[in-house]
Structure formats: C-alpha cells, structure tokens
Structure 1
Amino acid sequence: MRVIVIGAGLAGLSTACHLVGSGHEVTVVERQDGPGGRGIRRTQDGFAFDTGPTVLTMPGLLADAAAAAGSRLADLIHLERLDPAYRAVYADGSEIRVRHGIEAMRDEIAATCGPDDASAFPRFAEWLRRLHDVEMPHFIDAQFDSPLDLLRSPVAAATLTRLGGFRRLGPVIRSWFRDERLHRLFSFQALYAGLPPDRALALYAVITYMDSIEGVWFPAGGMGQVPAALAAAAERGGAELRYDTSVRRLIRDANGAAAGVELDSAERLRAEAVVCTLDPPTAYRLLLPELRPPRAVRGGRYSPSAVVWHVGARGEPGPGIGHHNIHFGTEWSSAFRALVDDGRLMPSPSRLVTVPTLSEPQLAPAGHSVLYVLEPVPNLTGTVDWRREREPMRERLAIFLAQNGYPTDVVTEHLVTPLDWARDGMHLGTPFALSHTFGQTGPFRPSNLERRVPGLVFAGSGTVPGVGVPIVLISGKLAAARVRAYLPDATPPPRRTVRAPL
C-alpha cells in the first residue's frame, strides 16, 4: 500500500521508518533541500547552524524508529552523553550544573544548595521516574479517540493522581526543595509545554525526568545528524525521499478519502493514505480549505514563541562555559505573567545559550564558535512589533553575550523572530504549537485522525502527544499505527538489519 508523508522533519521521518517496516511503500515529500523540517541545517560562511532543537533526550526513541526500518541507530549516528547536561547561571552569579547520575547530582546540590536539598534529591528523582513510568505507556505513547479513553487505564490514572500529577508543577517542586534556584532548575521545562510552572500540571515534570535524570545527548557532527540518520534509515528501509518538492493540494477520491497529493509542479502522486506533518492550522488552510478546522485547532491557546539568534563568531567561550547554558533572570513569576498573560517581552528574561562547537569544533572554522541563543517571547497575538523590535533585540542579546563570557566578534549570523516562524508555516509565529493545558492534552488535543477525510493522518507537535523531540518521534509512531489500521493488508518485508559499510 502506498503512503505519502508530507514533511521530512522528525515526525515525518519517524512515520516513514515505522511504515516501511510494516511493508508500506512510502514517499516522503519535503519542500526544503534536505531532512530536518524545523531543525534543518543552515550553512553560511563556513559555519553550520542547526536551526531546530538543541537538546536531545531519550535516544531510545530514535533507536526504535531506526529499528522499525531495519537499521541499527549505532550504525547511523554516534551519540555522546553531555555531563553536565546544563550549566545554570543565576542573577547573583552563582551556578549549578546538572550532572548525570543520582549520586553526582546529589553531590552537586550538596555543594551548591546544602545538605537538606541534597538529601531530598534521590527521592525526587525516584518520584520523577515513577511519573515517567506511568505516563509514557498510558498517556503519551497511546492513541486517543475520545475523552473516555482516559478511563481505559484506571490503575494508571489512580497512580498518576496519587503521585500528584494533577497538582501544579511550581508548588510541587517547591515542596521538594528549599533553595529557590532548584525551583527554577527543575521547573523551567514547563516552557516546553507552553505554560508558566505555576500553571503547568505536575505531570509535565516528565520533561524534567527526560533531561535531568535520563540525560542529554549530542551527536557527532551536530544536531543536524539526527534527521540525517532517520532519513538514512527510512531510505535503507525502502522509502523514497523527495526534497525541493512542495505540495499544492490534497487529492481526494469520489468518496472523499485521501488519494494522494498534487505538487506545485502539477505532478500528482497517488496513494492510499497521506500523513501530514504541517502545523494543523496551516494544513487546514492550504490542503483542506473546504473543511472547518476542529475547535481545538481554530480556537486553541498557542504557546509563546522564541527569538533564536544563530551566531558564528571569532574566538572561543571563556572558562567554565558549558555546551548548554541556562541564564536565569532576576524575575520569575512576573516574567511569565508578562510573557503569557500580557503578551510582552519578559522583564529580565531567562535565556538559553548552546555552544555546540565545544563538543563539535568542526561546525565552525578553527578558532571560531557557533552560538545558539534563545529567548522566549510572545507569539504573534502579543504586543510586540517585530519589524521594529528585531534590531533592538539583537543588540540586547549581543550585550548579554559580551557580559557573560561568550565571543561576540560576529562573522556571520541568522536571527529568527516570530515573523520568520510564521512565514515558515507555524501558526501565530510559534514553533511550539498549542500549549499543553489540560484541555489541550491527550484526547483534547487535535486528533491525529481527520475522520471527515478517511486515510488522512496527522503527525507532529500540533497533534498528539505534543511538543518536543521525544514526543514528535512518538507522534510519528502513532501516525504509522493509524495508517496500518486503515490499510491492514500491507505485507511486512523480511526482518533484516542493515549495517553501514565500514
């Protein structure tokens, strides 16, 4: 059975890998000139900028996708654990490093925050593990057809309730630790869910588990090697990947079912099913203009956005700077209120600076550095005029870098604002899609099925289960399962493992 996947980002490539392994004939069409989607690699003036996520966790999900297509992940990509995973810097000049391993992190907390918080950390880590173990199989890596599906695992739901998963994340973290710096360190991940920590459900501490307990990884060659590896696995499994190929419209048969796509070139690709990884509002506007989008798509609350400044600079960072550096501002709750409620820039913002050349110097010329600087900002429903604010933002980021020991002799750069995200098809200029409020999670999030168009399936951060590298990999797996249920007659190929040549 032939399936077309629109988009060669991580969700689309995961879908392709899982489908070729079950015997489907898969064609992936991608408008850009290579794999990666939002994380495609940009090269300029001898520097390589990986434009998407910089933090890689849960590599087992990558391995699962590669294995589904008949490849071993280790034959496609080499991953190194980052230890420390993060260097956290506070406004008072103090620092905490997120170390891998319970004992190492307990020692770090003892040295920076004192014995009481250190003694709490092993129990906190165990609580995070238990949250993960109940959430992953029952509420993340799971299909939902209606809210009633929440009741299909009553023991898991009861366990999640008993663990405090439906309390608010901020207060729960404060109940574990006394030091306010730890409150920030173990709750900032709520921003990935598009919410302030004091409003996010504690169940989103599962993100904290992924990076602070399971660990953060980095691939040899940079983050661009992640989609490259999945693309290689999909092609070795038999998928066709067509780059520089844009879809003009969805083809439907006489019964209204998905029957393929028409390209901008007017070429028609026929298929029995189509998987779309576009942001759902964009997908409905471009491919399904005759359909009224689901309520969750047209009226949902969307996450804040981010400005990302990609910098190629002469020189190297000062001593002590890590691969991932989180600089917390003086403000916390008021900063989130400004960002989320008022649609304003954060006062005294917190920022992420990733320096991938500390782990992979070949991303820049010798003696130079690549910097990835991210500041959370409102999406396009906010009050910021990005045509006027673009250059002042760049100037503030340059001053911030200089004040914190980063090289600032800029050779080349690329600044991305919400206007740029919007031009790339991301609704309201945010790459983080719908926020993860309870009413936009699980069965309440836009479904990965469009039941009015049989054979059309969605994958990516705008559908279930949500946002983040591990999560969109799962979304591809779930989308593939939907296709297999719709087209059950495909014959799986003989199982074999393809190894890379020596």
Structure 2
Amino acid sequence: MSEIVVIGAGVGGLAAAVRLAAAGHQVRVFEQAQTAGGKLGVISHEGFVFDTGPSLVTLPDILEDLFAATGVSVRDVLDLQRLDTAAQYRFPDGTVLDMPGELAQIPAAIDAALGAGRGAEWSAFLRRAERMWDLSREMFLESPLTVSAMRRRPPPPLSALGAISPLRSMRGLGRRYLKDERLRMLLDRYATYTGSDPRRAPAALATVPWSEQAYGSWYVAGGLGRIATALQERLDALGGRIEFDTEVTAITTDPSGRVDGISLADGRRISADTVVANADARTVYGSLIRTPTATRMAKRVRTPTPSFSGFVLLLAVDDPPADQPHHQILFAEDYDAEFDALFGRNGGPRPVERPTVYISAPDDPAIVPGPDTGAWFVLVNAPRHDPAAGMDWDAPGLAEDYADRILQIMADRGVDVRARVRHRQILSPAELERRTLTPGGSIYGSSSNGPRAAFLRPGNESRIPGLYLVGGSSHPGGGLPLVMLSGKIVAELIGPAEESVSDA
C-alpha cells in the first residue's frame, strides 16, 4: 500500500485525499489550522454561524461525483437546496433584477426588469457561452495540462478556435452581444469569480455565467462549511487521517530528486511515496521545496498576475429586513474604477472608494441563535495585502474605517442595517493571508488576466517526481467546483493503489 501525504485540508486537498483513500492508498493529511476547509472556513460566535469563503454551490454534479467516488450519495450527507432566485442585482440607475434560478425563466425576468428585448440579448450571449462550455469542459477543465494527456485527446476542430475566441477579452465578447450597459455590468461581475479584470480576462470565462445559470445556484443547509465536514467524515470512514495544528516546513527529496516525504515544525519527518500539496504554488516552489527544478518553477509561478483578495464583514443582524434576498449584489457606480484600484492602475493598489457589495443572507435557522436574527456575509473585492507595494491592510484604523464605509455604501444603495448589527467581525486581506497561508490573501491564486493566463497556471503533476498540486493556484483554477476538479485530476494521475489494481 502506497503512502501519500497531503499538505493542507482545504477542499482541493480533501477532494484528492478522499478519492485516493477510496482507491486504496494510505493517506495522511497535515493541516496548519485547527479545522478543515481552508478558504471554505466557518466562524461561530454567540450562536451565529458564518461561512467565510464560498457562499454558493455551482455545478452540483461535480460535488455529486466527488461523494459518489467515496461510496455515498451527496444527498445522504448534505442537504443541497436549489435557490428559486439565484441573486438580486441592484444597478447604479436603481434598476433591480431578480435573477431566477431556472435557466428557462431568465429571459422573461430580464425583459421585465431591464426592458423588452434585453432577455433576447442575454440568451444570444448564453448560446455562444454554451458552445464554449461544450468545447472546453472535457478538453480543458476536466483534463490535466500535460503533453501526454494532450496527445491522447483528439485535436479540436478549427471551428473551436472561433467559438472560444482565444484572443478576445470577456469585456470584448460582451460588447458583441450585449447592448444594455447593465447586462455588460452583469457579465463583468463573473470575471471576479476568478479574481480577474473583465477587460483582460479571456472570453472563455463566459462559460462561468452559462454554467451557473444552466446548472443552478445551490445552498447547503447549515452553511457551505458542512461540505468540508462531510469530506473529513468520509476520509475518516475510508481510513485516512488528518493532523491539525501541524505546520509543514519542507517537502523533502531523495538523492535522485524524487519527493520522499515532508518535515514538520515540531521536528518530525514523515516519509511518503507521494506528496499532494494543497497550498499556493508560490509557497510550494518558493519555500517548501529546495531543488533546482523548484527554483525554476518558483520564477514561473510568479509570472501570472495574482488574483485580488476580498474584504469581508461578518454581521450578526437583529430583525433583518423581511424581504432580504439570499444573495444580493449592489453594483458600483463606476466598475472600471473598481478594477483600476484592485490592480493598481492610475496609482498603486488601493481600497476601492465605492466598491460593488456582495451580500449573502441565508434564511437558515441552523446558522442563527433564534428567530428574527441573521448571519450575513458581506464581501467587497479588495487589493491583496502587499505592504511592499503600499497596500498594508494592517495599517492602524484602516480595516475599521473601511468597514464603516462599506456599511454606509450599503445604506446609500438601499440596504441600511447599521442600527441592527449586534456585532461584526472583519476579515481583511491581511487576516485572510494569516488564516489560509495564501500570499496577500489572494482568493483565487493567480488571476485569469490575459489570454495565456490559464496556461501559466501550474499543472497538477509537478516536474518534481512524486509531487502533485491541487487547489486554486493550480490547474484548472480557483472556485469551489474547479478545486474539486483539481482533486479528481490528481487522483486520476496517481491512480489506484497496487493492491486495488491486483484485487480488481
């Protein structure tokens, strides 16, 4: 039986670990925090339970496939609920769009909110996005970016290049199909799912709104943090182990350059045939492993633009508004100014003066201490914590002042809960960096800025024998569905344990 070490109990690491354990491997996971989940974190305080990371499940078939690979149905371990309204959007002109959770209902809803003919514009765009999705899902998202894998796949038809538009930006594709500025703003938002700028993100990201609207928006009763708990329980049932409060300080290699284990901060050394790193690739190659190959890879992984971070408010709300939607987006008055600030154009990286505000306010009795209370997650896009570049989120007073500004902006846009907040907790990019060990608190690893960005993202199979990468900084990218896919790709690359092969 082969011994596999997984560094990090984030969703990518857990997804790889449970699949490998189900395939007959002996799996040990080492996590520096006290709980599993990584960026899919949970904070509880005075009976309020807050998800601190993803608040929406998309592509539920990926989650279903993951649990099926461990021998159970996802429905047996998680209460997945499809949302009737995916999100409510408030635009700067005061228009409100309640986006249905069913694809067939979307054109009529857009027409009713934005005017006749706007639903047809969005539908035409989605038809193009669907073609892009069909071409890219199996060929790119679900397959490793290795030469051997590419050789095994039949080459895509030349027509595929025209459909995917590799040299066109997401913003450019939107302008081709969408005349209404509000629809363009809606599309721009989907670039933020990968921490990117829609003016530079590739047109292929049009697959994000398509997949969300075609497969629905879902919530897990009790909060999305239960996904990590369920994966941990499956790993336990399959014989895997997780050691918490355990920092990995190095990945070790034998004289041939092959990975042979890890070193821990408590002085222990753990031998392993294979190491799966669910850590930011810049950390893996920049500090955890010291070989000439790692040094070359460290330079490469610094090439892509890092994704931006997020500034989070966790609000315990008394007597929340009765009509508050589950998900709500309050758009910025100037979206381009927001992206300029995030990526440091026209000056260095800086907090956005009047950012788009995202609110998740589930109506879920399992996450609040009693009736007439709400556990709200409020997120705005924010530049990475990078004191060397002049963006120091630990500067005295900055986080508290910015939190006050966000609450004022919410009030300006029609959601005033300042007098209803029982308590609040702030998670700045600096705090996210400390909690997740992600450089700068970058939520998605590297951004998708530029047509080559996806191919600059590190592959799952390292050039260092025995080392594999999972998570948002590696292929196929950030976000809950993609990091689960990264775990699947790694498990398939490693394959079943020898005993499992012979027994079969």
Is it true that 1:428 corresponds to 2:440 in the alignment? yes
For these two proteins, the number of residue pairs brought into alignment is 489
Range 469-478 or range 223-232, more displaced = 223-232
Report the 3-state secondary structure (helix = DSSP H, G, I; strand = E; otherwise coil) of the residue aligned with 1:346.
Answer: coil
Counterpart position of 2:405:
396
Is it true that 1:380 corresponds to 2:380 in the alignment? no
Q: 1:330 aligns with which of 330, 333, 337?
A: 333
Q: Give the whole-Å Cα distance in 2 for the aligned partners of 1:16 and 1:371.
A: 31
Q: Give the whole-Å Cα distance in 2 for the aligned partners of 1:2 and 1:328.
A: 49
Shift of 1:421: 2.5
Counterpart position of 2:20:
19
Q: Give the whole-Å Cα distance in 2 for the aligned partners of 1:309 and 1:330.
A: 21
Q: 1:421 to 1:310 in 2, by over 3 A?
A: same
The normalised TM-score by structure 1 is 0.91
Q: 1:42 to 1:273 in 2, by over 3 A?
A: same
Counterpart position of 1:407:
417
Alpha carbons 2:40, 2:53 under 8 Å: kept: yes
Counterpart position of 2:479:
468
Shift of 1:490: 4.6
Alpha carbons 1:66, 1:234 under 8 Å: kept: no
Q: Which runs of structure 2 are paired with 1:272-311 in the superposition (5 Å)?
A: 272-290=273-291, 291-294=294-297, 295-311=299-315
Report the 3-state secondary structure (helix = DSSP H, G, I; strand = E; otherwise coil) of the residue aligned with 2:310.
Answer: strand
Counterpart position of 1:143:
144
Counterpart position of 1:235:
236
Is it true that 1:418 corresponds to 2:424 in the alignment? no
Is it true that 1:71 corresponds to 2:82 in the alignment? no
Gaps of 5+ in 2: none
The letter of the residue matching 1:308 is: V
Q: Deviations over 1:148-190 (max 9, x none)?
A: 9499543256414235354221122232232211111123111
Range 102-111 or range 457-466, more displaced = 102-111
The letter of the residue matching 1:135 is: S
Identity %: 28
The letter of the residue matching 1:143 is: P
Q: 1:449 aligns with which of 435, 448, 461?
A: 461
Q: Deviations over 1:405-450 (max 9, x none)?
A: 3533333322111211232321133122111134654442122233
Counterpart position of 1:500:
none
Q: Give the whole-Å Cα distance in 2 for the aligned partners of 1:12 and 1:72.
A: 20
Report the 3-state secondary structure (helix = DSSP H, G, I; strand = E; otherwise coil) of the residue aligned with 2:279.
Answer: coil
Q: Which runs of structure 2 are paired with 1:307-322 in the superposition (5 Å)?
A: 307-319=311-323, 321-322=324-325
Alpha carbons 2:315, 2:377 under 8 Å: kept: yes
The normalised TM-score by structure 2 is 0.90
Q: Deviations over 1:186-233 (max 9, x none)?
A: 231112223221221110011111223321100111111111122222
Counterpart position of 1:363:
367
Q: Give the whole-Å Cα distance in 2 for the aligned partners of 1:271 and 1:216.
A: 39
Q: 1:314 to 1:214 in 2, by over 3 A?
A: same
Range 53-62 or range 184-193, more displaced = 184-193
Shift of 1:113: 1.8
Alpha carbons 1:304, 1:377 under 8 Å: kept: yes
Q: Give the whole-Å Cα distance in 1 for the aligned partners of 2:23 and 2:218.
A: 29
Gaps of 5+ in 1: 496-502
Alpha carbons 1:131, 1:163 under 8 Å: kept: yes
Report the 3-state secondary structure (helix = DSSP H, G, I; strand = E; otherwise coil) of the residue aligned with 2:160.
Answer: helix
Range 375-384 or range 412-421, more displaced = 375-384
Q: Give the whole-Å Cα distance in 2 for the aligned partners of 1:222 and 1:257.
A: 40
The letter of the residue matching 1:162 is: A
Q: Which runs of structure 2 are paired with 1:31-430 in the superposition (5 Å)?
A: 31-146=32-147, 149=150, 153-155=154-156, 158-164=159-165, 166-290=167-291, 291-294=294-297, 295-319=299-323, 321-340=324-343, 341=345, 342=347, 343-356=349-362, 358=363, 360-366=364-370, 367-381=372-386, 382-386=389-393, 387-388=395-396, 389-403=398-412, 404-408=414-418, 409-424=420-435, 425-430=437-442
Counterpart position of 1:437:
449
